[in-house]
Structure 1
Amino acid sequence: MADQAGDGRVTGEGLVLREWTEADLPAMVELFDNPEVARWTPLASPFDLVAAARYLDAGHADTRRLHLAITTDGRQPLGEVLLSLDHRSIGLAITPTSRGEGLAVRALDLITTYAHETLAFPRVIAEIEPGNTASQLVAHRAGYRPAAEEPQLLTSRGREIVVVIWEHLAAASGQDGPMAETGVRLVGDGLVLREWREGDLPAMVELFDDPAVAYWTPLVTPFDERAAKAYLEVAQADNGRIQLAITTDGGRPMGEVLLMPETLSAGYAVGSQYRGQGLAARAVNLITAYAHDVAGMPRVMLEIEAENEASNSVARRAGYRLTEVEPRWVTEKGRKLALYTWEHLA
């Protein structure tokens, strides 16, 4: 729930969204003078104190858009969230030092709830470039989904960009059932891939504290409850990676599939008691389709040892092909190994 204070603040989700002030100019520079912000937003680059002052003045003069600093206590800005009252669209940015703490998802949740409940917007949209997988993941985790309309061609800082429309409907906020669950949830081929949650810790230990998983993956061994808790924290962080439990009904995890957009790569593991059911190939098919169709990744790769015939078989059944790229040599757990590249093209 989003609460609005008399001073224009929006509070909830452990956050306080407030208006920018002149005292925030140095924080603005820290936030916006960043390569990722320059790449994905129309803000000036480089973004110095002069640019910050202009941005602050423009924000105060713009009565049709909310420019709110993201804070946890109403003081130090950790990012910004915007809401256009005319286009009913949102945007946000998080400081590099504050990423991975769930701030982006919580801020997006909060401003979206405010738009639905206080402003009575039936629909809120986010315009995201296909290559901006970090923002796509944040949107997906906040309950946004790609809309049916065609991508739009826009001009930003003199360059033409294509954006995909993601939408959040007010009706989805109050409904029960599977669609009410936020986060990445992929359904198909008899599987439900969903995000990990606290109640999965015992299942994580059961799945990953396994000799084959220990040998073929970089996961720690032994994999106990402490390791599971640490792994869950990473899985739930805003780090751009997608880590999903493999299930048949949204319940008991039988394995995991990963997508790492920053390296255009995927990975997977299936518990020993669930092997032989085609779970890995089906899960890889699902996450690969998501990578191509939603995340806009033209290529997805798997890195597999030549001796790992089970994983090689999964890659082949999922439509991947072995490339002629030289193997990448790495050392994991004291073992030197060669990883061969398999690829799937959109």
Structure 2
Amino acid sequence: MFNYKKLIQLSLILLFSFLTNIVSADNHNISEILELIQKDLKTLEKAVYAGSINSNNQKSTNENSEDVLTRHLLKLSDIENQFQELTNKFEEINFKLDKLSNRLSKVQADNQIRFQDVEKVLSSGEINQKLTSKTKKNESKNLPGSSTPQDLGSISYKDTESEETTQKIQSVETTSSIVTEKFESEKNILPKVSPEKQYEFATSFLKVGDYNTAERAFREFVINNSEHKLAGNAQYWYAETFRIRQLYTDAATAYLEGYQKYPKGEKAPINLLKLGVSMVQIGEKEQGCKMIEGVEKQYPKANQSVLQKAKYESKKFECSKQKT
């Protein structure tokens, strides 16, 4: 900024020189001296004006620079705050991921233990022993469709004797005719066609609710076509005929046989689930729950309806409390 004190000093010096010139200018023209003074004043005015302009420009430049710097500092401060928030969120997400990873590891370890328990139970033969003992306690006489699976192509003496007892009011010829026809029908229930047609034939009895005949048909199919791709399905429906009639011990035996013979069949996941449910229903809750909860572990790619059903049955039978 221009100093006005210097301007006053210069003015006084000029005035002093002017007076000195007047005193010493005996032979000079006063008008020439005044012209010189005017020129000096104009030169001085130009210098003062130029100095004031430079001062104003410099001041405005400084002010603009300060404004720009202030704005940049504010933006940097906002960026720092946003970066801090993102860092906090990132750390929070990492913490949650660590917790989730730990939980998944625990669940996997727990499922592995349960699956090993299921394998041990199924391979030890303990279930077979318990099912046999349950059968001996519950049955009073040996009837087809209860106890262990029988040869459906034959008929026992007791069955023939009971049939004849109910027919005493009829003639001897009528009675022998009835017994003979039933014996022949039990001997060959499936038609002599392809396995696929036989499977459809056995399934037709389920559709009409004739579960006794369906039991015999599916059992015969499994015996005659044990290596066929539909054998696992037939074994499952064979077990279902017992479950529908609430013969849970026989159902559990049939499901167990299906799991052991056809562990990779189409019906294997639902077969294991029904085996677990049947075990719970005959009083073996601990082992039944292990099988129910082992369905998802052993068959993770099973149909979602089966997996959801397994979770429902586990909750229904309070299998989580059974572990504690």
Same-fold call, TM > 0.5?
no
Higher relative helix content = 2
Q: Which has the larger radius of gyration?
A: 2
Structure ranking higher in strand proportion = 1
Does 1 or 2 have the higher relative contact order (CA < 8 Å, sep 6+)? Answer: 2
TM-score (norm 2): 0.25
